[in-house]
Amino acid sequence: MSVVGVIGAGVMGVGVAQNLAQTGHEVILVDTSEAILAEALATIRHNCRMSRLLGGPALDADAVLAKISVGVGADSVAKADVIIENVTENWDIKRAVYRELDAACGPDTVFIVNTSAIPITKVASVTSRPAQVIGVHFMNPVPAKPAVELIPGFHTSPETILRTKELLTAMGKKAIPVKDACGFISNRVLMLTVNEAAYLVYEGVADAEAVDEVFRSCFGHPMGPLQTADLIGVDTILYSVEVLYEHYSDSKYRPCPLLRQMTDAGLHGRKSGRGFYDYSTG
């Protein structure tokens, strides 16, 4: 199995690292501080213990964590065969991360961009290896989702596509090919839905519970759009909508002011304890 560097120990990075480790890969999980990494490992341990109760496989937390080492900074993944980047959907941050990774990693390392909206060709343009940059949009929670969007950039080589497909297969994922268009398939649709649902709350048409209940009861969705926003992260939703709005210059992607206010107030959803719903009591 290859050595995989996972950049970013937030919600998505934790899920990717766990998925890789439980399928036998050696993982190097990287973030900006030891405290963040310690919290990430504790989350993975908790998720492994809860897996069977939540309908997943029975997992040995110690065995999974034994596959994961941690480090601070890009130099920690200098010898990784593949990098999966999971930092926030902010272009300035991503650009800086890729410049650091490009300088630290060997010439054969593949960079997998886990993004929900940013075009892959744009990311590849700030590296010296555009042929080895490819997008994979993982869904949350990563270990439980059977499929991903696979997005080659303009310069992505057939070898990089093949290597990425092999890794995804080993992780138990079905790769659905998508062209490199901002937002791809899922978020061109999902972000519009969540953003418009937020507008319903913002305009006082209905509260979050009523909006979600329509989707659950009338359409049979297991979760409503605002529950989904809390799961993904309200801040992540905002950043993704902003990327779509900037890229397409289309007013249909105008971000709801409520999303901005909630992001500024720290109401980011499940990960912060409160979003459209309150999770502080568990």
End-to-end CA distance of the chain: 37
Q: Within the chain, where are the H helices? A: 11-22, 34-50, 61-66, 91-104, 120-124, 158-170, 186-202, 208-213, 225-232, 234-248, 257-265
> Among the options 149, 240, 242, 268, which is catalytic?
149
How are strands ordered across the β-sheet holding 110-113?
68-72, 26-31, 3-7, 82-85, 110-113, 133-137, 147-152, 174-177
**Which string of b and e fits 16-32 if b means at least 16 CB within 10 Å?**
bbbbbbbbebbbbbbbe
Catalytic residue of the set 85, 137, 240, 242: 137
Is 155 considered catalytic here?
no
Question: Half-sphere exposure of 230 toward its Cβ, with a 13 Å CA cutoff?
Answer: 19
Catalytic residue among 47, 86, 114, 187: 187
Q: Specify whether 203 is catalytic.
A: no
Answer yes or no: 116 catalytic: yes
137 is catalytic: yes
Q: Which of 116, 140, 195, 240 is the catalytic position?
A: 116
Cite the active site residues.
116, 137, 149, 187
